[in-house]
Copies of this chain bind each other. A is one copy, B any other.
Amino acid sequence: MDIVSIIADIPLFHGLSPGQCAKLGAIAVRKYYSKGQSFFSEGDDADGFYIILSGRVKVFKLSPEGKEQIFHILEAPEPFGEAAVFAGKNFPACAQALAQTQVLFFPVRNFLDLISKEPSLSLSMLALLSMRLRKLTTLVENLSLKEVPGRLAAYLLLLNDRNGSKSAIELDISKNQMASLLGTIPETLSRILKRMADENLIRADARTISILDKQGLADLAEGNRKLN
């Protein structure tokens, strides 16, 4: 598929004229990353940002002892690394492919020229950064104000909402990664899933989790209830 048509399809770029999409197409570079490959590491010079075309990416930090905190897990057509570009510094975190991944890479310099001439693009970017900020705010809230059962409950409800009508959640990341996303470790996650099952809040079967008591989970997430 033609790179300009791809660009025109990306939500972030809706509102751009065909001419502007063509300009973007001229500066964008298509790149391929295999599972486990690193896009950038914390401290790297922010020379551009990425938009995912296919595959999956995690953005994370590591503690010196090796504990990992995942900030986002992203899929097409989401961008990443965009904030570092506007702050004009280096990347504050690491990004790695979780699977075979195809991206478009936009070098900073050319992109900044374009954005300053294109109000609809800057408004989209502002909206995007604001959503990221909101998401991070929620992460801080979860880490600081909720215990692990509350975080897990909130996360399960989120997955459930995304799922629409389906009654069971099919986990699309490993429980290791899930623990890292929730700011905990696999052992703790495993134990808490079990406790939830014991209280008939969920039924957990390998990669499949069914929510039995939505209200119960909501109470847990809000801190109005405790697990035994």
Contacts and interface: CB of A to CB of B under 8 A. Distances in A.
Interface of A: 61-65, 67, 69, 71, 83-89, 92-93, 112, 115-117, 119-120, 122-123, 125-127, 129-134, 136-141, 143-146, 183, 222-224
B87 A137 contact: no
The binding surface of chain A is classed by DSSP as: helix
Most buried by B among A86, A122, A126, A136: A126
Copies per complex? Answer: 2
Contacts of A63: 145-146, 223
A97 B198 CA distance: 45
A92 B145 contact: no
Ranked nearest first, the 5 interchain pairs of A and B with the lowest CB-CB distance are A87-B130, A63-B145, A122-B122, A86-B130, A64-B223
8 contacts: A62-B145, A69-B140, A87-B130, A88-B127, A122-B126, A125-B126, A140-B143, A143-B183
Contacts of A130: 83-87, 129
Contacts of A222: 64
A88 B143 CA distance: 25
Nearest to A138: B92
Contacts of A132: 133
B127 A126 contact: no
B126 A123 contact: no
Nearest to A145: B63
A144 B146 contact: no
A144 B68 CA distance: 9
Contacts of A112: 123
A129 B127 CA distance: 10
A104 B222 CA distance: 34
Contact of A134 (B83, B138, B145): B83
B93 A129 contact: no
Given A129-B86, A133-B133, A61 B119 contact: no
Given A129-B129, A133-B133, 9 more contacts: A83-B134, A85-B130, A86-B123, A93-B137, A115-B119, A119-B119, A122-B123, A125-B126, A136-B136
